[in-house]
Structures are given as C-alpha cells and as structure tokens.
Structure 1
C-alpha cells in the first residue's frame, strides 16, 4: 500500500473541497484531494447547475406561451429530451473547471477513491494511505428519502436522477415544497407537465410569509396544484402509474414522483469514530472555527451541519484556509449569507426576516420597503410583481427580503452592506444607473430617511428661514 504524507488532505471534490484545494496548493501547501464519485460534487452534477439550466429552458417556453409587447403568444413546441440536452451541455461546459486534469495541473494529488479514516491522522483511499497535518471533510450531502410506506417499491426521482430523465412526465408528483420542490414544480409545469406538490407544513416555510405568498400564488396561477398541510402517507403503483395518498385522504395519481424533502450529510463511509470525530445526523460536529473534536480535522459545507448552499461551502473554504495554512484565527458566521429560491419571481433573503428581526430587536426595528411596481425598469419590462423589504436597526440593515425578477442579483447590494456593517446611508449614496432594477434597493433605503427629511418640522423651519433670509 502506497504511503503519502502531506500538509493537507481534503475529502470531497465538491465546491468547498475544490475551492480549498485550489487556494491551498497555489499558496504553497502540499495538497491531496480524495474524491470517490464525481468531481464538482452535487452542485455541478445534480444540483445548482442542472436545475438552473432546466429553469432557463422552462423560462423560454413560458415567454413563448405568454407573448406580449406586440409579440403574439403561441403554444411552444417542447422537446423535453432536448431541454435535458441543454442541461447536460451546461454541465459539460463547466466540467473542465472542476476536472481532475485541472487540479493535477495546479499541483494537487487527486485520488479517485472513497476515503475512510483508519486513525486520528490517517485516511485510507483505495490502495493509498494518507497521513496529513490537517484533514478537511467536504463530502457534502445527498437527498433525504423519507420512510413513506410503499415508496421503496416504486421508482422515484431525486435531484440525483431527475436530470437523467428523457421522457417528459405526464404528471409529476413532488413531495416537499421547499426551494428545490418549488423550483422543479414551476420548471416542469412550464415544460408542459401536470404537477402536484404535497407539503406537510406550508410551502417555503423558512421564508418571509409575505414574500413567499407572491411566489406561491404565481405557481398556482401557472397551474401547479399545491397541497399544503398534508403528509404523504403511502405510495403504491409502478413505473408510469403511481398513486400517493395523504394523511387526510387525498389521493393523487401521477406518472412520476420526485422526493424533495431535505438532505442528509455524506458521512457513512468516513468511519469518523476511528478518527475520534464527534458527529450526529446533521453531520460533523464543529465549532465556529469549523474544527471538529479532533483538532487535526475540520469540516466545511453541507457536512458541517449548517446552511446547505454551494456558496456557503466556498465561504467555509476561505475560513479554514487561514488557520490551516497561516495559523490565523478565523470563525464562520451566518448573518451575512444570502439564499435564493430560483422560481419566477425569485425569492432572496439575507440576514433576519421581518419576524426574526422583531423577535430579536423588538421596537428598535424599522422596516422599510419599495415596490417593483414603482420601478421604471420593471414597468418597462412588465416585471412589476414583487418588492424589497429591509430590516433596519440603528441605521444599519440587519436583514433584507426581495421577491421579484432578478431578486438573486439584487440581494447582492445587501450582502455587501451587511457583510461590511455599512450604514443605510451607504446605499442611498450609491448612484444607480437609470433605469435599472437596482434602483429598487436605493429607493428602499431612501424610505428610511424620508420621514426625517419630509415630515420633520425643524427641517421645514430651516428651509423657510433660509428662503426668507438669503436673497
């Protein structure tokens, strides 16, 4: 068995592991990367990239169907298999950036095997045994499959095999109305499928209810049958003919079923006990510094048990590289991390929601907002559905909610502001080009100061004094 000694061994070639490997090797560290499945991880192969590619195909179909601005509407001719070809083409275009060849070119030793700890500072991967000064677990997560009676006897879809499907579902049943479920529901109804979503709680229940309601109503208007407050109780049938029954007796007959109820960490193969690493069902137990109970081992991304987003994994990589390579203290936070649901309209959030801000700060919170219906670019584009809502404490934003076209891009303004502890005046001082959707953020910030200027009797007195005194 080959023996390797290295500075840093990274387990997992997803977004977090690849970011860390590229940064560490270019800074002069000796790096080994262990990946037992596909380079690029879930995001490239089964998650963010293919889902957004499919959403783009669905948007094209929707625009054709809607028409407008003097362009006639028509029913699109949809080739579902060709839409999936587009998805695979997008993956193939991005793939070289995450490839073994690229990382070996950077100087990373890539081992394409699953890794298993055999000691507190030793990992076995195939016929190689790796001893490292530091390890980083970046193995990500996989779809959670709930124990619904009968589910294991029918063919079901998750995000890991949905994008391989070539035949358009006649009726897609989706269990789960979180971001993944809602994105795929809208994409498939736009691509000509009948879609029913079953949610045991309420749809998009992590988000601001007012903003979520805008998305939910849009999906219903487009034809998604959304059933809330009912749990999937049993599943029966066979390929192409599946029946789901809820705990309230609702019976749904469909051709395909997609499970979108959450994710579980990929820790099964790691043998964390051999390394003395504490863990639970959420993943590796880490502190704010992302270090495990074994001081030689860190965890980043989904497997670290916190927020499960690609950009969080990349952020975590930037946090742990400082102590591992430079001996500096670094801690991960969450208050400055945005999240986006890529429906149309999009729903974006950073920091505290309105309810969370009020719970934490009480009457110190001022909530300011601006409507897309008052934005000239939105009016010109016919995309006036939605708003921006900003939670402010002592002149600084502590959270922002945006629902509407391009919300995922617009939230970036507030990501910068919150990450850098800026005052709201930094946004009002910004000159947004006209006409752009970005003016929405400036207008929302401006409403915080409007009462101080326009409803202040002292300001009016000063103005009248100046006008009367100075010719």
Structure 2
C-alpha cells in the first residue's frame, strides 16, 4: 500500500495522515458493487456518499489522502494562510481606524504555518476514511486501475461494478523551464510544507493560485516577483477585475513581470524573457502555479473502453464516457477545476449513472472566486463569454465606493456588475470585485439558476448596511446605469 508522507513530521500532519490514509488500513477482499468511484477527493467523496445514502453498495478508491487536493494541498491550507496574511495586513492599517501600534507586527512564520497545518488536520477529519465508512462507503486505499468494462482492481483486490465514476482529480502542470529540476521548486503540493519564510519568492503564473499566494507571502514579509507570459492578471476573468488587482498588487509592493516567460532556472536565479529583453530574478523559493492536468496515469482506461485527451476523460453532455457504464466528474473531465464544480458534477454523475436522469452538465451554473484582497468572483455569462457564444447582453455596474458598508469598512475598492439577456432583464451573469465577493456571489448564482430578472432582485429586501446591497442597487437603478451592450 502507498506510504503517505507530509512535511514537517508534526502532530498536525500525523493526524491528517491518520484520517486521510490510515497506515494500518487493510482493504477488503473486493466484491460486487452498484457503484465504484475512483478517487477520494471532493468529487469522489460526494459521489460515493450520495449513492450510499440512497441505499446502494458503493466502493471508493484513493491512492493518496481522502479529501484530495482541496483539503490537503489547496483550498483549506491556502485560505488558512491567506487569513493569517490578512490579519497582518489589517494590523498595518491602524492609522485608517484610529489606532497605532508601537511597532509593526512581527510575523512568526513558523506559528503561521503551524496554524495552517492545524486547520488542515481539522478539515481532513470531515473527509476522513472513517467518516466515509460511517456514511456507508467501503473504502479501498491504494493504486486502482481498470481491468475490463465492468471491473477494476485496487492492489490486487477485484471490484466488480454495475456503474463507475472516475473522479481522480488533477495535479500541478509544470511548464518546461530549462534547468528546473524536481525538488528545486514549489507547487501547491509542497508550498505548505515550508517552515521558514522565503526572503525572496518568485511566482510563475497569473491565475488564482499564483495571485492568491503572491499576495499572501508579500503580506507576510517576502519580497515577491510574479512572472506571467500573458500581459494581464487572472485572464479568465473580466479585464477590469484583473486590472484592479494589478493596481493593488503594485501598491502592496509585488513586482510584476507581465508578458515575460520563465526560460531558465539555475542556482537561485530565474531568467525571464519579455518585451523589454531579459530579466534575471533572484529567489530563495520558486513557486510554479501555471495550471492543472488530470490524474489519469496508470488507470488503464483502454481496458474499460474509456478515452482521454490532454484535457482529461472524454465524456458526452451527460458526463458519460465511451463506456456507457462509466462516468466522470470533477477535474478529471470538467473544465472548471473548482471543488464546488467537482461536487456538482459528482452529484450529476450519480443521478445520470444510477437513475438515468439525462441531465446535461452544461445546465450547471458554476460560480468561481479568486481569494485575493479584494476577492474576484464571477458566475454565468460575462460580456467576453457572451460575445464568444453569440449572446447579446446588457451590463449594469456600480462601484463599491457608492455602497455605505463598503466605505464604512474601508473596503470600497471594487465594483459589482450584472449582465442580463439583452432586452429581457433576465440575469445571465455577474462579476463582483469586493472584500467578501466569494460570500456574496451566491445570490446571483441563485438568480441565474432560477432565471430571475433584475426586477426580482430589486424587489428583494436586503439588510442595511451590507456590501451585498450593491446588487440590489444595481437592479433598482438599472436603466440609467447601463454602461455596455455586448453583441
């Protein structure tokens, strides 16, 4: 069975391992199952526990730690780190709120990371092997692979299934950089093992993880350089949002190298090539944050009649593979690689696999949020996506500086924008840049899911004063505030 190690070897990490991959675990002998789920991350756990709750016999396999990337190397530890960094940043803003510290706050990075590991171990208890077993799921730990259209093995134990779901997640995609060797750089899977704050951190990547961790480490005291071949930050979001984050990063002292490509790494220096020639960036730690690729190696998909490409398992509109008895969910197949997207596609796969629901994945309304400060959240159609899909939309926006709670809290940098189907008032998308955008975007997700209009949002009573009023105010004054029409 696979041996799992987390560094440093402390009580928190040992607890995480005991919960997610108990060293003394002994697998069952195998058997016949209604559903076999390959992967014990958010998608796999959701699929397995959903089916088990309905009375099905379910097996779930996991090679590493249950909870997957989210709990162990992604959402949980990164947000714990971001929270610590925000506390330091807030302490440095005393002049704005009428108090002064005798000296700047002193960051104890060892204590910060101890808290990160403690929070992770607490979160991992929710997704632990024992929790899955108590929910009626039979857990198998070890390497799994298909041996036929309706069979798989886990370290020699045969699992025979009526239906199966591939939910094996994804891992960091590391670009080809001359001189870059394993162990000489960090990814999301190793950065949370740090015990000392790097004096100089170079981040390669302009997406959510790169931006979130660049800002967090800068606030904790690192000198940070961010390298990005695209000339903007967070290019999958609306340009106005990325530009606002760019200005904030520069204000906070992050050195941006936009339009530059990482070419060579050697002896603590990264050579980059860009529009102004070459730049050599010294570093104590190099973080690669350039995207994800699906975990499909060693699954022997061909034996099951399942096909895969560079983007993951190939599925139809209903998340069904070339084998009608095998479905896929989450990062292994879905383009939106978020925990909540994995959960949603897992539930959809269970419904389609076990009950013939025939619900297409395109009907899912998937929001997303990047947890920089301010946060950037989007859902549904944005003007750029609408143009790509040939949908005419009207856009209505409001700066947060016009919302009382935002300027009361000193969090007025940002804006809200609502996108409606042109001429109808039906809400089809939204963009929000705000300190708590991730907490606020669900209102618009609900509106889009239920095909509500601006009038319905305008008529909804909101607590005063709250930053969420930004949406109601946009809706109430939609006519005169229309700023763009995209065709």
TM-score of the alignment, normalized to the shorter chain, above 0.5: yes
Query: Which residue pairs with 2:37 in the alignment?
Result: 10
Q: Which has the higher mean CA deviation after the structures are superposed, 241-250 or 63-72?
A: 241-250
Deviations 1:424-459 (A, max 9, x none): 11100100011111110101112224589xxxxxxx
Deviations 1:16-72 (A, max 9, x none): 110111111111000001001001000000001110000000001101112121121
Question: In 2, distance between residues paired with 1:160 and 1:246?
Answer: 27
Question: In 2, distance between residues paired with 1:304 and 1:78?
Answer: 41
Question: In 1, distance between residues paired with 2:355 and 2:384?
Answer: 40
Residue number among 150, 163, 176 corresponding to 2:205 in the alignment: 176
SS at match of 2:181: helix
Query: Which residue pairs with 2:257 in the alignment?
Result: 227
Q: Which has the higher mean CA deviation after the structures are superposed, 183-192 or 347-356?
A: 347-356
Deviations 1:209-230 (A, max 9, x none): 1111111110111011111001
| RMSD (Å), alpha carbons | 1.6
Give the alignment of 1:139-150 within 5 angstroms: 139-150=168-179
SS at match of 2:86: helix
2:325 and 2:353 in contact (8 A); partners too: no
SS at match of 1:118: strand
Residue number among 85, 99, 123 corresponding to 1:58 in the alignment: 85
Question: In 1, distance between residues paired with 2:286 and 2:396?
Answer: 41
Question: In 1, distance between residues paired with 2:89 and 2:374?
Answer: 13
SS at match of 1:250: strand
SS at match of 1:151: coil
Residue number among 462, 470, 484 corresponding to 1:432 in the alignment: 462
Question: In 1, distance between residues paired with 2:291 and 2:91?
Answer: 33
Deviations 1:232-276 (A, max 9, x none): 111111xxx333333531111111100000011000021111111
- How far has the Cα of 1:295 moved from its partner? 0.8
Question: In 1, distance between residues paired with 2:295 and 2:463?
Answer: 45
SS at match of 2:320: coil
- How far has the Cα of 1:75 moved from its partner? 1.4
Q: Structure 1: 5+ residue runs without aligned partners?
A: 453-471
1:234 and 1:244 in contact (8 A); partners too: yes
Question: In 1, distance between residues paired with 2:357 and 2:414?
Answer: 43
1:143 and 1:263 in contact (8 A); partners too: yes
- How far has the Cα of 1:282 moved from its partner? 0.9
SS at match of 2:202: strand
1:357 and 1:398 in contact (8 A); partners too: no
- How far has the Cα of 1:153 moved from its partner? 6.5
Query: Which residue pairs with 1:46 in the alignment?
Result: 73
Question: In 2, distance between residues paired with 1:299 and 1:317?
Answer: 8
Query: Which residue pairs with 1:294 in the alignment?
Result: 323
Q: Which has the higher mean CA deviation after the structures are superposed, 125-134 or 348-357?
A: 348-357
Query: Which residue pairs with 1:100 in the alignment?
Result: 129
Residue number among 149, 152, 173 corresponding to 1:120 in the alignment: 149
Query: Which residue pairs with 2:21 in the alignment?
Result: none
- How far has the Cα of 1:373 moved from its partner? 0.5
TM-score, length basis structure 2: 0.89
Question: In 2, distance between residues paired with 1:327 and 1:153?
Answer: 45
Question: In 2, distance between residues paired with 1:153 and 1:136?
Answer: 32
Find out whether 1:76 has 2:93 as its counterpart.
no
Q: Which has the higher mean CA deviation after the structures are superposed, 312-321 or 189-198?
A: 312-321
SS at match of 1:152: coil
Query: Which residue pairs with 2:235 in the alignment?
Result: 205
Question: In 2, distance between residues paired with 1:332 and 1:343?
Answer: 28
Question: In 2, distance between residues paired with 1:61 and 1:451?
Answer: 37
TM-score, length basis structure 1: 0.92
1:234 and 1:246 in contact (8 A); partners too: no
Deviations 1:307-344 (A, max 9, x none): 11100000011111212332322211266211111000
Query: Which residue pairs with 1:164 in the alignment?
Result: 193
Give the alignment of 1:232-251 within 5 angstroms: 232-237=262-267, 241-246=268-273, 248-251=277-280
Query: Which residue pairs with 1:317 in the alignment?
Result: 346
Question: In 2, distance between residues paired with 1:233 and 1:253?
Answer: 14
Question: In 1, distance between residues paired with 2:220 and 2:173?
Answer: 26
Question: In 2, distance between residues paired with 1:25 and 1:234?
Answer: 50
SS at match of 2:92: helix
Find out whether 1:408 has 2:438 as its counterpart.
yes
Query: Which residue pairs with 1:458 in the alignment?
Result: none
Find out whether 1:373 has 2:401 as its counterpart.
yes
In the comparison of the two structures, how many residue pairs are matched?
448
Residue number among 60, 71, 88 corresponding to 2:117 in the alignment: 88
Query: Which residue pairs with 2:420 in the alignment?
Result: 392
Query: Which residue pairs with 2:447 in the alignment?
Result: 417
Question: In 2, distance between residues paired with 1:153 and 1:18?
Answer: 30
1:335 and 1:350 in contact (8 A); partners too: no
Q: Structure 2: 5+ residue runs without aligned partners?
A: 1-27, 483-487
Query: Which residue pairs with 2:366 in the alignment?
Result: 337
2:233 and 2:245 in contact (8 A); partners too: no
SS at match of 1:261: coil
